[in-house]
């Protein structure tokens, strides 16, 4: 996912900080600070991002598999873009 400064279009010299569940991005080139909307697709810009739980399996015996946890995948319903975000236990 590429993020660019809305003022100067800088893509390299950016830093982020999370405050109150909002990601604030600061551009070192021009000093602009803005809130990143995590529910907007990085590829198509649509507001159709949803979390999908994907099971993590471990082979138990023979061909049996056990679910040992879940991985959360953010996915855009409009264009199909997906980004792994984290692992969590069941």
Same domain, 53 and 26: no
Q: Which residue has the higher pLDDT, 50 or 86?
A: 50
Beta bridge partners of 76: 49
- The domain tally of the chain equals 2
Residue 14: predicted pLDDT: 92
Residue 15 maps to a domain: yes
Residue 18 lies in domain: 1-36
- In this prediction, residue 77 has a pLDDT band, given cuts at 50, 70 and 90, of confident
Cα dihedral: 66, 68, 70, 71 (round 10):
-100
Residue 31: predicted pLDDT: 92
């Amino acid at each position: 996912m590429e993020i660019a400064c809305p003022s100067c279009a800088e893509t390299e010299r950016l830093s982020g900080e999370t405050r109150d569940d909002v990601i604030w991005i600061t551009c070192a080139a021009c000093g602009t600070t803005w809130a990143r909307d995590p529910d907007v697709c990085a590829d198509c810009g649509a507001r159709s991002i949803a979390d999908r739980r994907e099971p993590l399996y471990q082979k138990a015996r023979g061909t049996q598999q056990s679910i040992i946890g879940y991985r959360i995948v953010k996915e855009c319903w409009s264009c199909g873009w997906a980004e792994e975000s984290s692992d969590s236990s069941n």
